[in-house]
Amino acid sequence: MAKSLVAITGLGVLSPIGLNIDEVQASIASTRSGIVPLEAPPLGKIYPAGVVQARFEDRFTALELPFLDRCQQMAILAADQAMRQSGHADLAEYGLRAAVHYGNVNGGVATAQAWYGQMLLEGRGASRPFTAMAIMGNAGAAQISIRRKVHGPVITHSSACSSSGVAIAEAARAISDGHLDIAIAGGAEAPLTASLIGVFDGTRSLAKIDQDDPSRSCKPFSSQRNGLVVGEGAAFLILESEHNARARGAEVLAYVSGSAIGSDAWHIGTPYADGQRATLRKALDDAGLAPGEIGYVNAHATATNGGDVVESDALRSVFGSGSEAPPVSSTKGVHGHLLGATSALEAVITILALRSATLPATAHLDQIDPRCALNHIPAEAARNRRIAHALSFSCGFGGTNAALVFSSAH
């Protein structure tokens, strides 16, 4: 059976660099950073963090709020944006042929932390009645499915930093193989709490705050990098078969032309170039493209010492590193690392690069680490760079890698 082309008809985002697609596009074009100083009581330090500069409680009723951690609030609202752009109110008409694929690692971590405080500091023996529903890892997917009448598969993917990339890849494959007509795919994360920030500080992987300019604390690929910056947010895509999109007269924004999910099978916390390059090559094969046909690569690069070097090795072996290689950047320097949602945000940014002919820069890349030699886009976005195909790459703790190939609708 011939495979279906997978069209993208809606995008939605809440992020440290914008509360909608237009704001994110403007931030990427100007390399505006959303990284700011963050206090995380009772931890006695100031951390750099990618913060979504808004609260959303007023968007929900008093009856809804007990069920909703900040993570699910952002998931619902970002998915709402994507649905509006796609032209759908809900997906009830599709029955079991509509799905939600959702990436998340930590669930409702703020709600969980509040309960730990009540239990350990106040001596409570039982939580609030709806705590269970607010801390679940799959709560974001469930809330979206309830609101948008999705009766088919509602699946939460949790593979660390590649979670939402895996969600998008699996949704796209189900559509391509003919099992689904449409899917809401993406992820959300709200990890800016003491319990989660302290865990990452314990791994010795967090960046120290830049005392001169906190917004410059995350420096992917730089010889001056010193660790990752945690961020929060949500991003979603509406994926559907091209036949379905054309039949209802929807605008096709771009296509998911290929994808791959692979595992390093190497180490729980250390990446491995062999696994990464195999995943990249599989994604190109799935898209039917040669490495030279990719016009831009959005790298995972988190600004950790080992991670950036390993990924650079993998990217060089697949694409090369000279001027003939595709331009590469990591946008985490402006929005931070959104953990389970980072793949989805970077997928949205990659699609915007296709549509705007503006390729994002790696912010604060004043001194490139020689071990990270690639065809970098340093400091400023590259404008008027019309491309046909782009790739977004994500790598997670545990070794799961996800590569997504997007192609222009034109």
**pLDDT tens by residue, 168-216:** 999 999 999 999 999 999 999 999 999 999 999 999 999 999 999 999 9
Is the pLDDT at 2 greater than 80? The verdict is no
- Is residue 14 domain-resident? yes
Within 10 angstroms of residue 388's Cβ, the number of other Cβ atoms is 14
Q: Could you list the residue range(s) of the whole structural domain that residue 219 is in?
A: 6-247
Does position 380 have pLDDT exceeding 80, yes or no?
A: yes
Residues 124 and 272 in one domain: no
CA distance 24 to 331: 11
Q: Same structural domain for residues 64 and 179?
A: yes
Domain count, the chain: 2
What CATH number does the domain containing 175 carry?
3.40.47.10
**Which of 247, 266, 286 delimits the end of a domain?**
247
Give catalytic status of residue 364 as yes or no: no
- Which of these is catalytic: 71, 161, 218, 372? 161
Q: Assess whether 238 and 93 both reside in one domain.
A: yes
> Considering 337, 364, 376, 389, which one is annotated as catalytic?
337
Q: How many CB atoms lie under 10 A from the CB of residue 194?
A: 18
Statement to judge: residues 210 and 101 lie in one domain: yes
**What pLDDT is attached to residue 3?**
82
Ramachandran sector of residue 35 (left: φ over 0; alpha: ψ -120 to 50; beta: rest): beta
Q: Is residue 225 domain-shared with residue 274, that is, in the same domain?
A: no
Q: How many residues does the chain have?
A: 410
Q: What integer is the mean pLDDT of 369-396?
A: 97
Q: Is residue 383 part of a domain?
A: yes
Catalytic annotation on 300?
yes
Examine residue 1 and state whether it is found in any structural domain, yes or no: no
Cβ atoms within 10 Å, residue 74: 27
Residue 378 and residue 311 share a domain: yes
Together in a domain, 225 and 281: no
Domain boundary among 216, 247, 278: 247
Average pLDDT, the chain: 97
- The pLDDT tens digits of the residues spanning 330-363 come to 999 999 999 999 999 999 999 999 999 999 999 9
From 200, 226, 247, the end of a domain falls on 247
> Are 158 and 62 members of one domain?
yes
Question: Looking at the structure, do residues 17 and 147 belong to the same domain, yes or no?
Answer: yes
DSSP H/E element including 9: strand 6-14
Strand order in the sheet with 328-329: 154-157, 98-103, 182-189, 233-241, 6-14, 254-263, 400-408, 389-395, 297-298, 328-329
Q: Which of 88, 101, 157, 300 is catalytic?
A: 300
Query: Distance between CA 34 and CA 17 in Å, rounded?
Result: 5
332 in any annotated domain: yes
368 with 44: CB under 8 angstroms?
A: no
Active site residue 161: yes
| Residues 53 and 29 reside in one and the same domain | yes
The amino acid occupying position 86 is S
What single string gives the DSSP state of each residue in 219-265?
Answer: -TTBTT---B-EE-EEEEEEEEEHHHHHHTTPPP-EEEEEEEEEE--
Whether residue 280 sits in one domain with residue 241: no
Q: Which residues pair with 401 in a beta bridge?
A: 262, 395
Q: CA–CA distance from 391 to each of 6, 93, 302, 365 (Å)?
A: 15, 33, 17, 21
Quote the DSSP letter at residue 367.
S
Q: How far apart are CA 194 and CA 116, in angstroms?
A: 12
Q: Are residues 403 and 350 in the same domain?
A: yes
Residue 70 in any domain: the answer is: yes
